[in-house]
Structure 1
Amino acid sequence: MIKVLYFGGQKSGKSQLAQDRALAISNEKKPYYIATYDNSFGDLQMQQRIDNHQDSRGDSFITIEESRHLNSVISSGHTYLIDCMSMWILNTISWSQDEVLQELETLSKCDANILFVLNEVGSGVIPIDKVSREFVDRTGIVGQKLTSICDEVYEVKFGLGVRLK
């Protein structure tokens, strides 16, 4: 079983590359797509993004909506694409850093193929408000943890993935 991270900026092509890879390694079983967005905010623009993602994967995946407890939906021997870890970070911002890292550590031990998608947000200025700073900092910490537990890491720009690990 393999763990893979795809990271990059918004609309970089991360999800498409991760979807293609999940389908390629799923061993003729339909892979699972874990959607992490908490769609309780009534954001119409985000709903359009969700619709676009659903359209792009069609019926090639079994979709599971889980915004926080990722370990609770993963079973051995299957392939999972978690899209996206950035939304998961936002959903778990009230968790301690240790709780977040423990969830990731538990995921690393799952006997399943897991592909992670993460937005790169740490290249800009330091945000002015506390929650945004916490999100950017947490994203960097989660990214470092994911790179340590993943067998492969790809930086994605304009639909091209460059393998870093």
Structure 2
Amino acid sequence: MALIYVTGGAKSGKSKFAENLLLGMNNGNQKNIYLATSVAFDEEMKVKVALHKERRQDKWLTVESYKNFSETLKDVLSDETKDNMLVDCLTNMISNIIFEEHDINWDKPSEKDFEKCNISVEKQVNELINIVNRFENVIIVSNELGMGIVPSYPLGRYFREIAGKMNQKIAEIADEAYFVVSGIPMKIK
């Protein structure tokens, strides 16, 4: 089994690289599960999701979910063979979990608000990590957010911080890690 972490900036080519990498790891008897974590909440995101689906064609079995993976993946898990899975992407997953916390005033969040979000995010990331061993190969894609300016608003700073911590958590346990820049992957682990 291999766990591979792929990171890079927005529109860096990381998803396309991850898709091709995982397809190349298929032994011919495995399903390729595409765990799509985004929620198409506006027209721009709907277009992006449609483009991703078009690129994948019929090579993938898509599961759309950003949490409760033991439940949402149970119908695609095989007892006979270990399949491959691509998770795209960790940062979308995290943002969706954060936005479930409707009672937080993100203009003036409290430490209790941050703790509440941390618990929710870490719970789902841990569930994702726990299900990884049910697959032969897993690639987790995520955005690298820590290379830009510090956001001027609390929600942006919190998102950058929690995403960075979860990226580190996945990268630490990954067998391999890649950083993609302008469509060029660089192996960093």
Q: Same fold (TM over 0.5)?
A: yes
- Count residues in correspondence: 163
In structure 2, the gaps of 5 or more residues are 102-116
Corresponding residue for 2:96?
Answer: 91
Corresponding residue for 1:8?
Answer: 8
Corresponding residue for 2:51?
Answer: 52
Question: How big is the alpha-carbon RMSD for the aligned residues of Structure 1 and Structure 2?
Answer: 1.8
Q: Could you tell me which of 148, 152, 155 is aligned with 1:131?
A: 155
Change (3 A) 1:145 1:48: same
Q: Which range moved further: 106-115 or 13-22?
A: 106-115
Q: Could you tell me which of 78, 84, 93 is aligned with 2:83?
A: 78
Contact (CA 8 Å) 1:101, 1:145: kept in 2 or not? no
Displacement after TM superposition at 1:113 (Å): 1.5
Q: Which range moved further: 20-29 or 155-164?
A: 20-29
Q: Which amino acid aligns with 2:21?
A: R
Displacement after TM superposition at 1:36 (Å): 0.5
Alignment pair present for 1:62 and 2:61 = yes
* TM-score, structure 1 as length reference: 0.90
Separation (CA, whole Å) in 1 of partners of 2:33 and 2:132: 17
Contact (CA 8 Å) 1:14, 1:159: kept in 2 or not? yes
Displacement after TM superposition at 1:98 (Å): 4.1
Q: Which range moved further: 101-110 or 81-90?
A: 101-110
SS at match of 2:44: helix
Q: How far does the alpha carbon of each residue in 1:84-138 deviate from its partner, in whole angstroms, 9 at most, with x for none?
A: 1110011222541542453244145444311111011111122122222111001
Q: Which range moved further: 148-157 or 21-30?
A: 21-30
Q: Within 5 A, what are the aligned runs for 1:18-37?
A: 18-28=18-28, 29-37=30-38
Contact (CA 8 Å) 1:104, 1:145: kept in 2 or not? no
Contact (CA 8 Å) 2:36, 2:63: kept in 1 or not? yes
Q: How far does the alpha carbon of each residue in 1:11-33 deviate from its partner, in whole angstroms, 9 at most, with x for none?
A: 11101111011111122123011
Change (3 A) 1:71 1:123: farther
Q: Which amino acid aligns with 1:36?
A: T
